[in-house]
Amino acid sequence: MKKRFFILHLLFLILLLAACRQEKPAPSVIFGQPEEDIAPTAYDLSEIQAAGELIAVTLSGPDTYYEYRGRGFGLEFEMAEAFASSIGTRLRMEMAPDTAELLRRLAAGEADLIALEIDSGGWQVRPTSVELAAAVKRWWKPDTKERFLAAEAARRQSLQRSQTPRLVRPPMLSRAQGIISSYDNLFIRHAATAGMDWRLLAAQCYQESAFNPRAVSWAGAQGLMQIMPGTASHLGLSASEVFEPEKNVAAATRYIRELAVTFSDIPERRERLSFILAAYNGGVGHVRDAMALAQKHGKDPHRWADVNPFILALSQPRYYRDPVVKNGYLRGSETSGYVRQILERYSFYRGSARPAGNATPRPSTSSSAASPASSSSRVRPRSEFVLPTDTATPSATQAPALSQ
């Protein structure tokens, strides 16, 4: 009996203490000092400069921040990058699906500033980041946004002037002889690296540059296969080599091989091809986002017909700000059309161009394409240009076959 009374008394004391306990109010993100248990040490401008990296967070969108072929675009990105440069650091731009998440990341110390005007205010930093706030205030002028908008407009006009006009070329150099272009020998020689039919590589090249080795896009992609500078650096292709047809095509096929391995979780190789082409144009992250949306909506994430509608949907805020989307806004109509047009042209080339074993493509007219390897190479049987397909998980040195 005494034992039961003791237990009941103990429970009563516990309940009484819980009722009397006062919760600490949550600290304001924008106003007031944050609690010590949330920010035990100040992480201000000097610490950011020592780390060499400013972390900014914003909402994704065509007017704020988005990535295209591995390069950042958008007004908030351009301004944040300029501010980071002014304080001597690089910028790491991240995205959040909504303003609540922006505020949470700032309060938790996961970001240094919010690169977005919330409620018509300026950028926001933590109340303890006094030095950083002062630096932003010194940098931000009344006409800052207008200056960047004008600079962006001027940059686009300059790019349009410098952009190589897309030459109107026939889809085939000689249909009677089965010759697609003067670069067929390069496609035949390097298609094996990507594990693909050389005619598919030719179809992709036509979509990229219309077989113009000097082509430059508005986004800065260069050469026959329109390789972005960052991708070129990753592939070991120097700025002086990017316009050389041989080296440009060779680098592109190495990149396609990487993409084939990346999407090796898609078991059916013909399906996989569409995902690889989409990633070449729009980026792996955006394609994975579309796959995640397809799965969320009860579709097959490994079937292009199910994923393509969500590639298109990634240009709408309802979808590119969905919690499952990690890479934000995408120019979806461009990526979707890119895949469709290449596959349509490839179908035409398959019915018109001869297989590699029977073709005798005209040598490239570009002197930069010539090399000891090209002068002595022979056209090999087509079977040698399709890698084995019955591999469960391709290694980094073997890409799954994409077509036949």
Contact 403, 200 (CB under 8 A): yes
34-38, 127-131, 331-335: range with lowest mean pLDDT: 34-38
Which band of pLDDT confidence, cut at 50, 70 and 90, is reported for residue 8? low
Question: CA-CA distances (angstroms) from residue 262 to 1, 103, 250, 365, 400?
Answer: 69, 34, 19, 35, 10
Contact 309, 291 (CB under 8 A): no
State whether residue 125 is helix, strand or coil: strand
Half-sphere exposure of residue 246, counting CA atoms within 13 Å on the CB side? 15
The pTM is what?
A: 0.70
- Best CA proximity match to 282, nearest among 332, 354, 317, 326: 332
**H or E stretch covering 94:** strand 90-96
Amino acid at 331: R
pLDDT (0 to 100) of residue 31: 31
pLDDT tens per residue across span 227-277: 999 899 999 999 989 999 999 999 999 999 999 999 999 999 999 999 999
Mean pLDDT, the chain, rounded, equals 80
Please, what are the domains in the chain? 45-160 (3.40.190.10), 184-385 (1.10.530.10)
Per-residue pLDDT averaged across 277-299, rounded? 97
Half-sphere exposure of residue 306, counting CA atoms within 13 Å on the CB side? 16
- State how far the Cα of 223 lies from the Cα of 241, in Å rounded to an integer: 9
pLDDT tens per residue across span 177-223: 899 999 999 999 999 999 999 999 999 999 999 999 999 988 889 99
| Residue found under tokens 């067929």 | 184
DSSP state letter for 19: H
Higher pLDDT, 404 or 68: 68
